[in-house]
């Protein structure tokens, strides 16, 4: 275990107990697995090995090393303009929803391909299916409205053994739909997951990106990855920011998740647990009202913490305890 500058173990205790990233990054080990990372690793102000987290190439190289070391993903890459996800936080979401399934299964996490998960907004990185399949063996369907993102995600699946049969990608043809056109009439899922765009506008997304740069001590640095408006009125989004649809939507996460809740009523009997990440606590009252209006039978809020960042998962089901037991016996205990 690597120590911090006070000589004490630097464990990220806010992360889930099963999260493989609770300790400080072991850069020596990561470089052995992924030598390309070496050129980005320097000593920080505390004389610990680290990278410049404001450098998109460094962050991507770190992700590639983490995926190789902990999840046996030998080939992973994303185009420069797409979001580069923080792997420890993404893994946390998956471990918490594994616990959610366990709550329906006598405390035992159901594993293997009989468990089917639907990832809304899989993106070019496909990070949730990659980690979720490697950790629990679940079968994933990843959905996105961006065909180019799905092309890149498919390249990742084909470049790694055993993934193409375990992870399926589907294009959502309607930007206003969530489940409609994706979930077939007789298809079932044990859970859905989503990391919705939480900004309500481009200006809000710009402000959020600026806060990230200030937090990284880059106030005077040109914002290399900042999304920006072009002269023709279109939005250009560079590496650090992510694609526009990854960053914001009209009404922000509050509107997106409300729409998801409303749509979930149409497939209420076809999914055990619906879940979504909620980044802003201010979004919760509206989300809870939507769930009450949708007549969700059970709602759970699961708090998460990654460093200074606080977020939570909201989960809901339309099935009562008896129906949940029947689901478990029908799909996990065949």
Tens of pLDDT, residues 213-225? 445 455 444 344 4
At the second CATH level, the architecture of 81-199+249-331 is: 3-Layer(aba) Sandwich (3.40)
The pair of three-digit structure tokens given for residue 290, joined into one six-digit string: 């939507």
Quickly count: other Cβ atoms within 10 Å of residue 196's Cβ. 22
Say how far apart CA 226 and CA 213 lie, in whole Å.
9
Q: Which DSSP state fits 185?
A: T
Could you give the maximum distance between any two Cα atoms of the chain, in Å?
60
Q: What pLDDT, on a 0 to 100 scale, did the predictor assign at position 196?
A: 92
Q: Are strands 298-306 and 49-50 parallel, antiparallel or unpaired?
A: unpaired
Looking at the DSSP bridge assignments, the partners of residue 104 are none
Which portions of the chain are predicted below pLDDT 50? 1-9, 199-201, 205-208, 211, 213-214, 216, 219-243, 246, 248
Q: How far apart are CA 262 and CA 293, in angstroms?
A: 9
Domain ranges of the chain: 1-71, 81-199+249-331, 202-245
The pLDDT, as a whole number, for residue 10 is 59
Cα angle value 127/89/241 (rounded, 5°): 70
Pick from 272, 259, 261, 269: nearest CA to 294: 261
């Amino acid at each position: 275990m690597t120590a911090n500058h006070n000589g004490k173990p630097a464990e990220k205790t806010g992360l889930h107990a099963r999260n493989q990233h609770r300790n400080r990054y072991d850069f020596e080990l990561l470089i052995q697995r992924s030598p390309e990372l070496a050129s980005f690793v320097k000593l920080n102000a505390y004389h610990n090995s680290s990278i410049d987290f404001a450098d998109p190439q460094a962050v991507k190289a770190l992700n590639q090393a983490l995926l190789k070391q902990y999840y046996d993903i030998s080939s992973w890459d994303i185009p420069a303009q797409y979001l580069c996800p923080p792997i420890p936080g993404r893994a946390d979401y998956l471990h918490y929803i594994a616990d959610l399934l366990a709550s329906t299964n006598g405390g035992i996490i159901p594993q293997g391909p009989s468990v089917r998960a639907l990832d809304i907004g899989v993106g070019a990185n496909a990070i949730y299916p990659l980690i979720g399949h490697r950790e629990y063996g679940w079968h994933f369907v990843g959905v996105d409205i961006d065909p180019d993102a799905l092309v890149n995600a498919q390249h990742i699946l084909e470049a790694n053994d055993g993934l193409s049969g375990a992870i399926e990608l589907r294009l959502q043809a309607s930007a206003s739909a969530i489940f409609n056109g994706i979930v077939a009439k007789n298809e079932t899922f044990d859970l859905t997951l989503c990391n919705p765009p939480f900004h309500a506008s481009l200006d809000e997304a710009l402000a959020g990106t600026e806060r990230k740069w200030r937090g990284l001590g880059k106030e005077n640095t040109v914002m290399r990855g900042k999304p920006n408006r072009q002269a023709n009125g279109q939005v250009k989004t560079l590496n650090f920011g992510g694609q526009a649809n990854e960053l914001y939507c009209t009404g922000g996460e509050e509107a997106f998740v409300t729409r998801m809740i409303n749509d979930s009523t149409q497939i209420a009997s076809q999914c055990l647990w619906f879940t979504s990440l909620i980044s802003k606590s201010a979004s919760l009252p509206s989300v809870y009202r939507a769930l009450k209006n949708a007549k969700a039978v059970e709602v759970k809020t699961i708090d998460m913490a990654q460093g200074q960042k606080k977020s939570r998962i909201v989960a809901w089901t339309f099935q009562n305890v008896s129906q949940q037991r029947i689901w478990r016996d029908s799909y996990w205990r065949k």
